[in-house]
A = this chain, B = another copy of it.
Amino acid sequence: MSEAQELRRDVAHLGHIELFSPKPAESLRFFCDVLSMQEVAREGQSVYLRAWGEYERYSLKLTEAPQAGLAHTAFRAWSSQALERLVKTIEASGLGKGWIDGDLGHGKAYQFTDPDGHLLELYYDTEKYQAPDALRPALKNQPQRTPDYGIGVRRLDHINFLARHPASNRAFMQQHMGAMLTEEIMLDDGTEAGTWLTFTNKAYDVVYTMDATGSSGRLHHIAYWVDNREDVLRAADIYLEHGIPIEFAPGKHAIAQGFFIYVHEPGGNRIELATGSYLIFDPDWQPVIWSQAERAKGQAWGTPTVASFHTYGTPPAPIPEDH
């Protein structure tokens, strides 16, 4: 069995994301007041936030910094043994950086980067969230009371990295993290312009999108999940009333068929609210390849992708003149 097969599902799920924001107070209000996320701790320049349906203590670490962008992305391993296996192969890849003590909420973590330079982490030991009395849910099979204000995102859903070469990052995740490629865009010249990868039954947990600016290490977006398509429409109205410009109004993606809405949080990072899509139960799923022509058709219902979606990311980067 290949390394990839041994590792397949050694990663349990996308755990948490640390975002940089040059407007931390405004970003915080966005995540807390509009997305209904809960502040669980503060430390130094960082605030730790959770969504109501998450079992771990937090999924978002918001850190003040001069520029917006992605600080690090962490994945939880399936078990201690799975963590060991993953670390061993990542070390062998040459992209490992080493063990660090755990951060708030989780135990020791192994740091590494993907080929594009995004800082990643793997951990296993984690702290399960315990709701304080005021946030006790009516139904005991959820971690926390469902918020009755704001959009009420349930959980972190996925991350979309911008990268110079999605292909090498896709390969890294497959070979060294056991990810499964579910869908991708292949241009006429063979370039993989976008790759969708999963560690779970979800159609995707991680995406690599070609960075039109030629930069490395940038973020396209992070996504939080809401349960129904009507929740995405309701979110659009909430964004509108909050004066938050909507970059890409509610629609359905062709790729992975998610129903989406995109905005930029006040610090500049692009945030998606997602639902729909589909689950994959087939252990031998064959990736769906979209051609350049198919991609040019736009979203599922023919809506052209907004121009900024192809170039904007964080931190900001100049768009080449020939774009």
Chain A residues at the B interface, C-beta cutoff of 8 Å: 1, 9, 12-13, 34, 53, 55-56, 76, 78-79, 81, 128, 137-142, 145-146, 148-151, 154, 183, 200-202, 227-231, 233, 236-243, 245-246, 249-252, 254-257, 259, 261, 276, 278-279, 281-283, 285, 288, 290, 294, 299-303
Collect the chain B residues with CB atoms within 8 Å of residue A12's CB.
281-283
Q: Are B245 and A302 in contact (CB under 8 A)?
A: yes
Collect the chain B residues with CB atoms within 8 Å of residue A302's CB.
245-246, 249
CB distance from A293 to the nearest CB of B (A): 12
CB distance from A272 to the nearest CB of B (A): 14
| Bound-complex Cα distance A56 to B281 (A) | 10
Q: Are B276 and A241 in contact (CB under 8 A)?
A: no
| Bound-complex Cα distance A90 to B128 (A) | 34
Q: Are B149 and A149 in contact (CB under 8 A)?
A: yes
CB distance from A52 to the nearest CB of B (A): 10
Q: How many copies does the complex hold?
A: 4
Interface centre among A13, A141, A151, A254 (most CB of B within 10 A): A141
Collect the chain B residues with CB atoms within 8 Å of residue A237's CB.
146, 252, 300
Q: Are B281 and A55 in contact (CB under 8 A)?
A: yes
Apart from the given pairs A200-B201, A240-B301, 5 other A-B contacts in the complex at a CB distance below 8 Å: A12-B281, A138-B240, A141-B257, A148-B150, A250-B251
Collect the chain B residues with CB atoms within 8 Å of residue A9's CB.
9
Q: Are A141 and B183 in contact (CB under 8 A)?
A: yes
Q: Are B300 and A240 in contact (CB under 8 A)?
A: yes
| A249 partner, pick from B146, B281, B303, beta carbons under 8 A | B303
| Bound-complex Cα distance A315 to B167 (A) | 50
- Specify the chain B residue showing the minimal Cβ separation from A141: B288
Q: Are B241 and A233 in contact (CB under 8 A)?
A: no
| A228 partner, pick from B228, B281, B282, beta carbons under 8 A | B228
